[in-house]
Amino acid sequence: VAAGRDFIDAVANSSPARLALIVFSLVILVFTALLSLPAASVSGDVTPLHDAMFTAVSAVCVTGLTVVSTAAYWSVFGQVLILVAIQVGGLGILTMASLLALAVNRRLGVRGKLIAQEGMNTGRLGEVGSLLRIVVATTVLIELALAAVLAPRFMLLGEPPVQAIWHAVFYSISSFNNAGFTPHSDGLVPYENDPWILIPLMLGVFIGSLGFPVIMVLLQSRLKPRRWNLHTKLTLVVSFILLGAGSLLWAAFEWFNQQTIAGMGVGDKILHAVFASVMMRSGGFSLVDMADQDASTLVITDMLMFAGGGSASTAGGIKVTTIAVIFLAIIAEARGDTDVRAFARNIPAGALRVAISVVMLGATMVAVATLALLVITDQTLQPVLFEVISAFATVGLSIGLSPELPPAGKYVLAATMFAGRVGTITLAAALALRQRKPLYHYPEERPIIG
C-alpha cells in the first residue's frame, strides 16, 4: 500500500496535469459502463452508448446537462450512480485542482499560505492522500449541514422520511458540487417561491463555487479579512461583483417578460433574479425555462457562464481570478502603470500571460464546439452557443438542445464538458510549471497595436 501511495505521489509531482487527465478519463469510462447496465434504467434496457456516456461525463464533470430525464429515465440504482459520480467527480476536481495549485506554488516559490499546508507533507497517507482527506472532510461536513436544513422542509411538504432524506442528500451533494442535477421530474419549479429550499441551494452552490483554497482560508482565518491571501480577496470580490451584476441585469431584462417573472410580486422577482445569477455561473439549477427568457438574458447568461467560479472549485468557466488579473492589467494600463496591483500586492507578469492563455483556450474550445454543432444540426447561433458555453463551463443550464442532438452532437457536447472541466485547470498548471528565465534576449521592437 505504501508503495502505491509513493507511486501516486511521484506521478502527481512529476506530471500532475497528465494524472488529472488519466484519472478523469478512467472514472468516466467506469460510470459509462455502469450507467449502460439494464438495472440503471427504469425500462430495464441497455442505454445507448451516447446517452450513457453523455450522462456519465455530465455527472463526473458536475455539469448537469441531460439527454434523458434524471427522474423519469434512470432507476433508483441509476440515480444513485449519478449521485456517486457527482460526488467522486466533485472531490476529484477539488483535489486535483488544489494539488496542481500547490505544485505551481511550490515550483514558483510563491509567497502566502495557499491552503492547509500544515496538513501536507506529513503522515503516512502521502501528499495526495492527505489533501484528499481534508477535502473529503470539509465537503462531507458542508453537505451534511445543507441536507440537515433541507430534509425537514421536504418532510413538511409531505414526503415520507426516507424520500425526504434522499432528496435532501441529493440536492445537498448536487448543489455543493455545482452539479445542477435534480431528482424531481419537474426540477425546482414546484419550489420556485420557497426560500427554505432555494436559499440553502444558493448557499451550497455559492460556497462550492468559491473553490477549496478559498474555503480553507475562510475557515482557518475565522473570517478575518486581514489574514486572507490575495487569491481569497480577488475570488470573493469578483464573485460578489458578478453575482450583483448578474442579478441586476437578469432582473432588468426579465422584469416585464410575461413568460417568466412579469406576473410575480417584487419579492419573488428579486428572489428569482438572485437565484438565476447564482446559478448561471455554474450551479445549473433553474426556476424558469431558459427558452422563455429574452435573447438579451441569454447573452448575459452566456457571458457569466463563460466567466465561471473560483479556481480549484467545482465551478467551471475561465474562473474569476483569471478575469480579475486581466481586468487589473487593463486598469494598470489605463493608469499608465507597468505594475499590475491589487490589495497592496504586485501580480507577476507571468500570471497575466497564463490568464490570457486560459481565456483564449476557452474561447477556442467554445468556438470549435459551436461550429461543429452548427454544421451537424440546422440550429442557429443563439441556442447552440448557449448549450456549448453551458457545457464548456460545466454549468448545466439548458435551452433544450442536448436531448434533440444526434449522437455525433452529443459526443461533441460531452467532449466540450470534459475539455472545459479538465482543460483549463491542467493548462494553467502546465503553463505555470514550465516558466523559466530565457538564456538570451533579442533586441526589443514594438509593432503598432490597435
**Residues in touch with K ion (CB under 5 A):** 64, 178, 180, 284, 396
CB of 157 to a second copy, least distance (A): 38
Question: Which listed option, K ion, a second copy, none, makes contact with residue 360 (CB within 5 to 8 Å by class)?
Answer: a second copy
40, 9 Cβ separation under 8 angstroms: no
**C-alpha–C-alpha distance, residues 177 and 12, integer Å:** 23
Helix, coil or strand: residue 154: helix
CB of 330 to a second copy, least distance (A): 5
Q: What CA–CA distances, in Å, run from 343 to 64, 108, 109?
A: 36, 21, 20
| Binding flag, residue 400, a second copy (CB under 8 A) | no
CB of 180 to K ion, least distance (A): 4
| Binding flag, residue 258, a second copy (CB under 8 A) | no
Site residues (CB under 8 A) for a second copy, limited to 337-366: 337-339, 341, 344-358, 360
CB of 316 to K ion, least distance (A): 7
Residues forming a β-bridge with 144: none
CB of 311 to K ion, least distance (A): 16
Sign of CA dihedral 251, 252, 257, 263: positive
Question: Which listed option, a second copy, K ion, none, makes contact with residue 131 (CB within 5 to 8 Å by class)?
Answer: none
CB of 64 to K ion, least distance (A): 4
Site residues (CB under 8 A) for a second copy, limited to 210-229: 211, 213, 229
Alpha helices in 157-285 (DSSP H): 161-176, 195-210, 212-220, 230-254, 266-278
Helix, coil or strand: residue 45: coil
| Residue 355, all three cell numbers | 490568464
| Binding flag, residue 390, a second copy (CB under 8 A) | no
Site residues (CB under 8 A) for a second copy, limited to 404-433: 424-425, 427-429, 431-432
Taking the least distance from each CB to a second copy, the nearer of 187 and 420 is 420
Please, which residues have CB within 8 angstroms of residue 229's CB and are 6 or more apart in sequence? 112, 113, 114, 217
Residue in the block written with cell 422542509: 153
**C-alpha–C-alpha distance, residues 55 and 59, integer Å:** 6
Site residues (CB under 8 A) for a second copy, limited to 79-138: 101, 104-105, 108, 110-112, 114
Question: Which listed option, a second copy, K ion, none, makes contact with residue 180 (CB within 5 to 8 Å by class)?
Answer: K ion
Question: Which listed option, a second copy, K ion, none, makes contact with residue 64 (CB within 5 to 8 Å by class)?
Answer: K ion
Helix, coil or strand: residue 389: helix
Taking the least distance from each CB to a second copy, the nearer of 146 and 355 is 355
CB of 257 to K ion, least distance (A): 24
Taking the least distance from each CB to a second copy, the nearer of 72 and 334 is 334
**C-alpha–C-alpha distance, residues 307 and 299, integer Å:** 13
**C-alpha–C-alpha distance, residues 90 and 101, integer Å:** 16
Sign of CA dihedral 90, 214, 312, 61: positive
Question: Which listed option, K ion, a second copy, none, makes contact with residue 396 (CB within 5 to 8 Å by class)?
Answer: K ion
Closest residue to K ion using C-beta atoms: 284
Taking the least distance from each CB to K ion, the nearer of 64 and 310 is 64
Strands 345-347 and 340-342: antiparallel
Q: Which stretch binds a second copy (CB under 8 A): 172-180, 239-247, 262-270, 288-296?
A: 288-296
Please, which residues have CB within 8 angstroms of residue 405's CB and are 6 or more apart in sequence? 67, 373, 376, 377, 412, 413
Taking the least distance from each CB to a second copy, the nearer of 162 and 334 is 334
CB of 319 to a second copy, least distance (A): 6
Site residues (CB under 8 A) for a second copy, limited to 163-202: none
Taking the least distance from each CB to a second copy, the nearer of 88 and 433 is 433
Taking the least distance from each CB to K ion, the nearer of 284 and 420 is 284
CB of 102 to K ion, least distance (A): 25
| Binding flag, residue 374, a second copy (CB under 8 A) | yes
307, 281 Cβ separation under 8 angstroms: yes
Taking the least distance from each CB to a second copy, the nearer of 140 and 299 is 299
Amino acid at 169: V
Residues forming a β-bridge with 342: 345
Taking the least distance from each CB to a second copy, the nearer of 223 and 295 is 295
b/e map 46-70, b = 16+ CB within 10 Å: ebeebbbbbbbbbbbbbbbbbbbeb
Site residues (CB under 8 A) for a second copy, limited to 6-45: none
| Residue 85, all three cell numbers | 459520480
User: Using CB atoms within 10 A of its CB, is residue 108 exposed (0-12), middle (13-18) or buried (19+)?
Assistant: middle
413, 65 Cβ separation under 8 angstroms: yes
CB of 160 to a second copy, least distance (A): 44
Question: Which listed option, a second copy, K ion, none, makes contact with residue 171 (CB within 5 to 8 Å by class)?
Answer: none
CB of 208 to a second copy, least distance (A): 16
